[in-house]
Amino acid sequence: MRRIVCVIALFVTFINTACALELAVDPNPQATAQRLNDSYNRTVNDCKEPDTGATRGHYYCSGVTLRMVNDGPFLPWTYSPYALQTGATSWTWIRKDLSISVLAHPAGFVLNTPADAQALGLPALDKGWTCIYTFDGFTGPDRNWYGCGPFNDKSFAPPTQPSTQNKNEEWAFGTCALQNVTNAEQWKQKYPGGPQQPIQTTQCSWNAEVPAQWDAMIAAHEARATTTASDYFAERKYFNEFMLKNLPGSDGSEMKRYIAAIIYLPTGAQNFGVRGDNGKAAAQQSGIDNARRFQLKLYQEGYAVPVLRIDFSKPAQQRFSYNPVDQFVWLGEGSGVPRQYIDSATWSQFTDNVTGQKVSSLKVIPTARGKTYQVNDRKAIYLELQQFKGADKQWRDEEKMPGSMESQLNCIINNYPDRADWNLEPFRPLVSASEAKAAGCNPVAK
């Protein structure tokens, strides 16, 4: 198989001749952290679509959009049953001029702004954003229109005509304008909070594509320096809620292509119970441990992005930071992160008994972690090996059947788990798992 290295802005993508994505790697995590810091500190309120000049909401070219989630037996970017009922997922938007310093969970993932992604030639998530709440909006299926409608109003339906004119006009909508709330002062008067009118369930939603409504959201959020027990989240240090319509015909798997980095909060960050958790209190989870597992799960899906720390105790210019010791997967030679699974991989040659030709063999020595996690993390092991040695002439020229090297690795792990080394030959054919086992993991062409 010929392997082509395609450079797209800050990302490197390895593809085979069939153009199937194998591994997308961010080789410059420090630049990713800097880009997010720049976005966080960019207080621009007049975002425009570069090709049409149409007006967009603040998220389009400034601030940072993130989603915090807990770890569990699922992929963190896929939709939960509750999100499927709602038709949307909840995000948070932060920027230098917001005092948000508390997030819902200790770890999650973050997006590039659509403007930054487009400038880098990367996938830009610029459609499906519906509304944003000043504070947590207690969203769920009891708020129609993807979590943006009035609470417990099943009859509510938004106007049929779009309220904005841009590429997201089909989805952008908010109830604030319908309730004659157009600025922060009106918001404060209408939603004073308290046990009879808790802000979570009564507040209106702002249209995701109207800049003036973003300005009002920021001003209303910053005006609440304190809160009461009945409005626990309605204080300026707490997160807002930014709604994204579920991607059509997807379980959320398409979201992984938009993820710029995995993020985590310092030790001690709170972990809040959220709707959809069956009313159970959230158990405390470690931000860095969750972030590393998220990074591994994404890596095994073919995307290698950095783990970044988000620290609200640091100056705004240092909100996001990269540290090699935080990483669980190898991001490449330039990242400062050592390989996690592969200790060494050395080429040699031998004469094939069948063809009489000299062929190459790769002797792979796994690390202790590689041996310990060889069954559960086999995809990550293969991806790290592929990134480490996949561009070598022997692999590039001799693997005539793409997938043969991975098939041999899986065969050895499945059938010879105690082996201290793995010998892989790229010339071997790609066969079924049963055929590979019968051949002692050394299949030959028929």
Residue 442: predicted pLDDT: 93
* Burial bucket for residue 120 (CB in 10 Å: 0-12, 13-18, 19+): middle
Q: Please check the confidence at residue 18 and state whether its pLDDT lies above 90.
A: no
pTM: 0.88
Residue 22: predicted pLDDT: 61
- The better pLDDT of the pair 364, 281 is held by 364
Residue 277: predicted pLDDT: 63
Residue 20: predicted pLDDT: 34
pLDDT digits (tens, 9 = 90+) for 166-217: 999 999 999 999 999 999 999 999 999 999 899 999 999 999 999 999 999 9
Amino acid occupying residue 370: G
Average pLDDT, integer, range 378-405 = 93
pLDDT digits (tens, 9 = 90+) for 270-305: 998 877 764 455 678 999 999 999 999 999 999 999
Q: Give the integer Cα–Cα distance in Å for 366 and 381.
A: 9
- Cβ atoms within 10 Å, residue 353: 7
pLDDT digits (tens, 9 = 90+) for 227-286: 988 898 999 999 999 999 999 888 999 999 999 999 999 998 999 887 776 445 567 899
Contact by Cβ (8 Å): 349, 359: yes
Please give the angle made by the CA atoms of 15, 355 and 357, to the nearest 5 degrees: 70
Residue 16: predicted pLDDT: 31
Contact by Cβ (8 Å): 205, 137: yes
SS3 222: helix
Average pLDDT, integer, range 7-27 = 45
359 forms beta bridges with: 350
Q: Which helix or strand (DSSP H or E) is residue 175 part of?
A: none
Token pair 């899986």 is found at 410
Residue 159: predicted pLDDT: 76
Quote the tokens at residue 191: 């939603």
Contact by Cβ (8 Å): 378, 413: yes
CA distances from 373 to 42, 296, 381 (A): 42, 12, 9
Most trustworthy range by pLDDT among 37-41, 170-174, 397-401: 37-41
Provide the 8-state DSSP code for 143: B
Average pLDDT, integer, range 312-317 = 98
Residue 4: predicted pLDDT: 26
What's phi and psi for 414, nearest 5 deg?
-70, -40
Q: Which helix or strand (DSSP H or E) is residue 33 part of?
A: helix 29-40
Residue 433: predicted pLDDT: 95
What's phi and psi for 269, nearest 5 deg?
-60, 140
Q: What is the mean pLDDT of the chain?
A: 90
Q: Please check the confidence at residue 46 and state whether its pLDDT lies above 70.
A: yes
% residues pLDDT > 70 (the chain): 93
SS3 87: coil
Token pair 């209303």 is found at 220
Q: Please check the confidence at residue 19 and state whether its pLDDT lies above 50.
A: no
Contact by Cβ (8 Å): 269, 238: no
pLDDT digits (tens, 9 = 90+) for 53-93: 999 999 999 999 999 999 989 999 999 999 999 999 999 99
**Which residues, 6 or more positions from 148, have their beta carbon under 8 angstroms from its beta carbon?**
130, 131, 158, 173, 174, 175, 205, 243
Contact by Cβ (8 Å): 262, 308: yes
